[in-house]
Structure 1
Amino acid sequence: MNLLNPSRRAFLAGSAGLIISVMLPRSARAQQAQPQNFDPDAFIRISPDNTVTVLVKHLEMGQGANTGLASLVAEELDADWSQMRAESAPANAQLYANFAFGLQGVGGSTGMANSYMQMRRAGAAARGMLVAAAAEEWGVPAEEIVVAQGVLSHAASNNTATFGELAEAARSMPMPEDPPLKDPADFIYIGQKVERIDGLGKSNGEAMFTIDVYLDGMETVAVLHPPKFGATVVSVDDSAAMEVPGVLRVAQIPSGVAVYAENTFAAFRGRDALSVEWDETNAETRSSAELARIWAEAARAGGRVAEEAGDVDAALEGAETVLEAEFTFPFLAHAPLEPLDGVIQLGEGEAEVWMGSQIQTVDQNVMAAVLEMDPGNITLNTMYAGGSFGRRAQPASHLAAELASIGRTAGPGAYKLLWTRENDIRGGYYRPLTVHRIRGGLDADGNIVAWENTIANQSIIAGSPFEGMLEDGMDPTSYEGSTQMPYAWPAHRVSWARMESQVPVLWWRAVGHTHTAYATEIFLDELLEQGGQDRVEGRLALIRPEAGRDRAVLERVADMADWSGPGTGDRRMGVALHESFGSYVAMIAEVEEDRGMPRVTRVWCAVDCGFAVNPDVVLAQMEGGIGFGLGTALYNEIVIEDGGLVREGNFDTYPLMSIYDMPAVEVSMINSDNDPTGVGEPGVPPIAPAMANAWRSLTGSSPRQLPFQSAGS
């Protein structure tokens, strides 16, 4: 694939201008030398060539946003799937805000839930305007016009027209205020498998990622960041770096030292040649082991109560048996396959940026502040992203700030910021190191009478632009999933101890649910085992009457796996149930021993995500979530060594799960009339506890510290 292909540059420049022109007022847009396209509510563009392009307000990072939102439009528009296209919408919070956040961005598996009705209404409005145009042109009643597979027809007059043929006339039609929507019984795309709209382009290299962007005269920039979190630059000796062929300049920026070069190779070699003195006065020098010890002490001491019912202390004191466990979870990197990157073209008083932006509004505003520009003077083009898992959803927009600083420091020109894998793995913004301390009480009959869980970790959102999500100073993302559980505890208490460190933390795929599901579902399994209860039946007996969707997925997965207990042979089974982001997932994992480690041979998964708009996307996200969560639980951790240096740097020390480790996966969807909810994250939390519960049946113990590899399992 030739990344320097001039046609690619032309495509990039042309598509960006065309998208922006769509956002202008109609009077201004009429003056543009662009095809006059039809764009109801700024979400749809129908061109004379009969293509229908959906402007997608969410970052496409592999989760299927483009396909999902395009299928909603195609359904209500009665388009043919072959004519559908998708492009990223420009950064414009007024038009493209996520209703869950009040700004443009996606996260927390809100993409489909947020856009389901919005995009259907946009498609229905477009259809109404096309029908109105045809009715006027043909002189026939609108209600007699039929639309199917991208063609409008009127039987009595024998008139037919494609969308493209009517697009210009439709522009002058009034937009319907409240267009009628299809009855779900008539759906042909929604709820059905459709071909991924971006699949071919990603397979043949036509799809444009930020790393593919090359502008004329562009310089490549590599940044040397402090080796310890919180350290700052004292002095820079760039003499050796400037001797590297292709290096153009070296400059200190707020986040470190930037090397500008003619190409990537020179930029990286120049960075390696830098000699920098760092001030480590305020750096984090404690090891992750030391932090874990401090966190554990805080969890034992207790924290602020997040949820409580009944007299837990009395229930524990009066219990026949009390079990106690402490779970430790490491820092985790996101490790997307495409490391963080961005391109900026800076002019006088304006800038254009290309990057895989997940929260466009914040990124645009932060760059505007750094460049001392009005945000409206910064055109932000959202590119395909080669993964994110939360990494590109940055409350402080540190990548956007670094990119803007590179441009401001060097002046007008084009610059590509390219992180190495080591930049990313050692760069912080990890899932927080977390400790759970859980106690549970059983009566003489083996019934659970008390449940207490204290979680100690850093806050992700405190001090960020998302601080408004705090609840009376409490960060719900730190303990979500340990509260509002589906089980009816006679007495329970959940507390949180907020910890502090210079290590920057960030939401990671499924955020707090990734550790709360593991701790709670393993400990519950052990309580049920201690009480002589079956792990599935015991859970079902505890589920509150109103938690019917939890019950349904658990019953479904038990039927799928033909559950009759964990088993007795060389392969054992374990179960876990967890709701996150409005979706309900239950899993049963079958595990065998392989060289001292668990090998998951098969996973049964039942999911209720409301109405499944794109079942194949749901299936892919469940499979992907299982692989992601499984590999992480088995192998991954970020270790900060004594003195504050991060040990891991690339996939040799922070490995991805191999195909050998990927189990056979069977997914069953409980489709319903409930509104669609997210699937990008809910497949992650249940897999690790399901595996661990099966492993305990096989070996007698579940790791209290992840990953399994470090626990010596």
Structure 2
Amino acid sequence: MTATISRREFLRKTLAGAGFAVAVSLKPFVCEVWPQQRRAREEVEIFSPAAWVQVTSDNLVTVIVNKSEMGQGVTTSLPMIVAEELDADWDQVRFEIAPARERYLDPVSGRQYTGGSTSVRQMIAPLRTAGAIAREMLLRAAAETWKVPAASCAVVKGTVRHQVSGRSLTFGELCRQAARLPVPRQPAIKSKSPQRIVGSSVSRLDILDKIEGSAVFGMDVFVNDMLHASIARPPAFGAKPLAFDREAAGKVRGVRQVVPMERGIAVCADHLHQAWAGKKALNVRWSRGSHPELNTAGVENRLLPLLNKPGATAHSTGDCGPALGAASRKLRAHYTLPFLAHATMEPMNCTAHVRAEGCDIWAPVQDQTGAVDTACAITGLRPDQVLVYTTYLGGAFGRRLETDFVAEAVQLSKVVQKPVKVVWTREEDLQNDFYRPACACRIEAGLDAGGHIAAWRHKIAASSILERIAPDQVSDGVDPFAVQGLTDMPYEIPNLEVEYVKADLPVPVGFWRSAGYSYNTFAVESFMDELARAAGKDPVEFRLAHLKKNARATRLIEELVKSSGWGRHPRKGIGKGFAYHSSHGTHVAQVAEVAADEKKGALKILKVTCAVDCGTVISPDAVAAQMEGGIIFGLSAALKEEVEFTNGGVASHNFSGYEILAADETPEIEILMLPSGGTLGGIGAVGVPAVAPAIANAAFNLTGSRIRKLPLRARGARGRARAKNP
């Protein structure tokens, strides 16, 4: 293989599926394509027995990662799985982001995407198999080279050794011979213990790029002869342009074309600041939109009445009606939560180049399959004619599962017949999101004479995410994501009824980190505390009494109680709150400690202690980081975040109007990893849901007042305490 490759040869070999391995380097001001891993302009032999792993004659092991790296560490945790099974030396391991191709589809979902805390869970089996295949073939290659039985050889830290003679060969030295061997269909998978790489704290493979600044995000992509585009977007939902000054925009220096689009009017220019100036010169006059009366208060006013309307049954166990009627003690409560934005650090962006024979896309995407489908729908090209180069993602949280920003770049490139880079401003990002649904719910429950839950009736009103993106998955009027945490309620309740009412609001909704669990867990865990008080029981003991069949949850909670000092009386002026959560095969329990600043009318979050059991831990560092990040994410939402509306559109325009938790407001966080050794669970989203109810329950134990509405920050006459941490 040569050290340089022309664009035509790159396309021909890649699109033909000839097995020619390539990587794409994206640097500021240049897009460079080179052969596998930039081999310092030297020829290398490639041994690639499976789609996910390559071993080359320069003794490097490259793991092909089909998931997007957005800070969660998949470019380290997935290679760890292969390296463990292959018994490679970690110093020889590298990674490459997979192109969007059928061979790199997630074997469980059948798509190439990153979301739902599924990356490691769904890729562990194929990656272990790939590593085992490579290990067996390298071992057999060495045995054939030495003409000895394979059983007398062993793979040890990147080499194959003959145990009798002490001879050894590196993986690189065995590449050519291994590539000639047949691929074993059922390789022997190593036992889980002992493990040398999995379960240890190895150095992240992407850390050097990020420290030295060479890591390339979507905003960093520049290709030759490209135009920059900025789009004037409607200020209200359903608003249409009534008039705009195309001529004035065209007179702005550097502006090359003005393109009306379905969701606005685009200005394409030589430089981004010229595109912004051209957009301003358009002076667009918009219609009032489809719901000009919509404002922040109106959202809640439209949700709460829905709880009095018939809904669709999402779950029913036992018979709630008679059980509630016979209960010794009944409770009822309402909870409301607002729309939330994703507010990623890096706003939406995409660079695309559409040509007659193909389309190149450079973007920070979570859904490569969706990006390809979007490009094909716009251009009429075949999937094998679309190349998606996934950059690092500056935050995602579900927002980059959408492909609206990809569609814009592809559409504009098709029209102007040049590469086009679309960059959103922070204001555009906050005002044109697919938001976490707002919701309102009503819970009615009854306790029996022994203080146990006899019946639980839960009704929730919220917008449907699936109605827009996958209507065929809405069954009998129920969006399963809207009732997450309810239909799979972890507690043992003999009579449980869950009802869903779809809210028809004009606000577009999408997946937000932990989806429906983010709001339903707040309601469930807050109400569990209310029931515990009504039953005269400790909140933790009350929960354990309803988790008797759940050994993992019981063990986790009991360990957290010991570590957090839950049973000890808190210091004066401090309240403690508890919450439990289970999803994606992972169990989480949290204790929050809060205090009050009477002079400032502020609630201080002092500490969050979190225990997590995700079954098996691949990368302890990644688990700890994801739990800490999830807790901070959940704290921000609980204490501050809320999308505001006015005149039929989004009023929140920047971080001055959509507050997020600052670094100096972050409390002490302690993570207790308590793996049970069971089936691998997800970790990306599970740190979020329990934070808000833990804080609310702590606030009650401190003040005696129940919090049933988020966020906690004060706003106008509502007088809610503005949360602030020391």
- Measure, in 2, the Cα distance between the counterparts of 1:445 and 1:521: 20
Q: CA deviation at 1:243?
A: 3.2
- Measure, in 1, the Cα distance between the counterparts of 2:76 and 2:64: 11
Q: 1:699 aligns with which of 691, 698, 703?
A: 703
- Measure, in 1, the Cα distance between the counterparts of 2:35 and 2:623: 41
Q: CA deviation at 1:391?
A: 0.4
Partner of 2:362: 354
Task: Report if aligned partners of 1:284, 1:503 keep a CA contact under 8 Å in 2.
Answer: no
Q: CA deviation at 1:283?
A: 4.9
Q: CA deviation at 1:492?
A: 2.3
- Measure, in 2, the Cα distance between the counterparts of 1:297 and 1:366: 38
Residue type of the partner of 2:522? Y
2:467 is the counterpart of 1:459: no
Task: Report if aligned partners of 1:19, 1:89 keep a CA contact under 8 Å in 2.
Answer: no
Partner of 1:563: 566
Q: Secondary structure at the match of 1:564?
A: coil
Partner of 2:605: 600
Q: CA deviation at 1:608?
A: 1.1
Q: CA deviation at 1:26?
A: 4.9
Q: 2:193 aligns with which of 180, 185, 207?
A: 185
Partner of 2:412: 406
Partner of 1:525: 529
Partner of 1:367: 375
The aligned runs of 1:45-56 (5 Å cut-off) are 45-56=54-65
- Measure, in 1, the Cα distance between the counterparts of 2:706 and 2:212: 44
Q: Which runs of 5+ in 1 are unaligned?
A: 1-9
Describe the shift of the 1:157–1:320 C-alpha distance in structure 2 as closer, same or farther (beyond 3 A). closer
Partner of 1:623: 628
Partner of 2:27: none
Q: CA deviation at 1:300?
A: 3.2
Q: Deviations over 1:378-403 (max 9, x none)?
A: 11111110110010012xx2222212
2:81 is the counterpart of 1:64: no
Q: CA deviation at 1:343?
A: 1.0
478-487 vs 435-444, which moves further:
435-444
Describe the shift of the 1:647–1:33 C-alpha distance in structure 2 as closer, same or farther (beyond 3 A). closer
Q: CA deviation at 1:314?
A: 2.7
Describe the shift of the 1:177–1:165 C-alpha distance in structure 2 as closer, same or farther (beyond 3 A). same
Describe the shift of the 1:218–1:339 C-alpha distance in structure 2 as closer, same or farther (beyond 3 A). same
Q: Deviations over 1:540-590 (max 9, x none)?
A: 112241x22222221121111122167462111100001111211010111
Residue type of the partner of 1:329? L
- Measure, in 1, the Cα distance between the counterparts of 2:20 and 2:463: 51
Runs of 4+ in 1 over 6 A off after TM superposition: 10-14
The aligned runs of 1:529-678 (5 Å cut-off) are 529-545=533-549, 547-564=550-567, 567=570, 569-594=572-597, 595-641=600-646, 643-678=647-682
- Measure, in 2, the Cα distance between the counterparts of 1:315 and 1:568: 40
The aligned runs of 1:89-488 (5 Å cut-off) are 89-92=98-101, 94-280=102-288, 282-283=290-291, 285-394=293-402, 397-411=403-417, 413-443=418-448, 446-464=451-469, 466-488=470-492
Task: Report if aligned partners of 2:405, 2:422 keep a CA contact under 8 Å in 1.
Answer: no
- Measure, in 1, the Cα distance between the counterparts of 2:205 and 2:356: 38
Partner of 2:30: none
Percent identical residues: 37
- Measure, in 2, the Cα distance between the counterparts of 1:516 and 1:555: 24
Describe the shift of the 1:169–1:125 C-alpha distance in structure 2 as closer, same or farther (beyond 3 A). same
Q: CA deviation at 1:446?
A: 4.1
Q: CA deviation at 1:131?
A: 1.9
- Measure, in 1, the Cα distance between the counterparts of 2:341 and 2:431: 8
Describe the shift of the 1:187–1:424 C-alpha distance in structure 2 as closer, same or farther (beyond 3 A). same
- When normalised by structure 2's length, the TM-score is 0.91
- Measure, in 2, the Cα distance between the counterparts of 1:103 and 1:467: 18
- Measure, in 1, the Cα distance between the counterparts of 2:397 and 2:494: 37
Describe the shift of the 1:617–1:346 C-alpha distance in structure 2 as closer, same or farther (beyond 3 A). same
Q: CA deviation at 1:132?
A: 2.2
The aligned runs of 1:482-497 (5 Å cut-off) are 482-497=486-501
Q: Secondary structure at the match of 1:392?
A: helix
Task: Report if aligned partners of 2:444, 2:456 keep a CA contact under 8 Å in 1.
Answer: yes
Partner of 1:681: 685
Q: CA deviation at 1:28?
A: 11
Task: Report if aligned partners of 1:637, 1:654 keep a CA contact under 8 Å in 2.
Answer: yes
Residue type of the partner of 1:191? G
Q: CA deviation at 1:692?
A: 0.8
Residue type of the partner of 2:341? A
Q: Secondary structure at the match of 2:468?
A: coil
Partner of 2:48: 39
- Measure, in 2, the Cα distance between the counterparts of 1:11 and 1:296: 63
Describe the shift of the 1:20–1:463 C-alpha distance in structure 2 as closer, same or farther (beyond 3 A). farther
Task: Report if aligned partners of 2:564, 2:609 keep a CA contact under 8 Å in 1.
Answer: yes
- Measure, in 2, the Cα distance between the counterparts of 1:535 and 1:565: 14
Task: Report if aligned partners of 1:284, 1:502 keep a CA contact under 8 Å in 2.
Answer: no
Q: CA deviation at 1:467?
A: 3.3
Q: CA deviation at 1:615?
A: 1.3
Q: Which runs of 5+ in 2 are unaligned?
A: 23-33, 37-43, 722-726
Q: CA deviation at 1:499?
A: 1.2
Q: CA deviation at 1:638?
A: 0.3
Q: Secondary structure at the match of 2:627?
A: helix
Residue type of the partner of 1:237? D
2:17 is the counterpart of 1:24: yes
- Measure, in 2, the Cα distance between the counterparts of 1:219 and 1:315: 66
Task: Report if aligned partners of 1:434, 1:456 keep a CA contact under 8 Å in 2.
Answer: yes
Partner of 2:25: none
Q: Deviations over 1:502-558 (max 9, x none)?
A: 21100100000000110110011011112211011111112241x222222211211
Q: Deviations over 1:472-519 (max 9, x none)?
A: 331110010022222222422111001112211001000000001101
- Measure, in 2, the Cα distance between the counterparts of 1:75 and 1:400: 37
Q: CA deviation at 1:361?
A: 1.1
Q: CA deviation at 1:316?
A: 2.9
152-161 vs 414-423, which moves further:
152-161
Residue type of the partner of 2:535? G
Q: CA deviation at 1:319?
A: 3.3
Residue type of the partner of 2:244? V
Task: Report if aligned partners of 1:566, 1:574 keep a CA contact under 8 Å in 2.
Answer: no
Task: Report if aligned partners of 2:245, 2:281 keep a CA contact under 8 Å in 1.
Answer: no
Q: CA deviation at 1:71?
A: 0.2
- Measure, in 1, the Cα distance between the counterparts of 2:12 and 2:292: 45
- Measure, in 1, the Cα distance between the counterparts of 2:570 and 2:189: 50
572-581 vs 489-498, which moves further:
489-498
401-410 vs 263-272, which moves further:
263-272
Q: How many residues are paired up?
A: 694
- Measure, in 2, the Cα distance between the counterparts of 1:27 and 1:518: 50
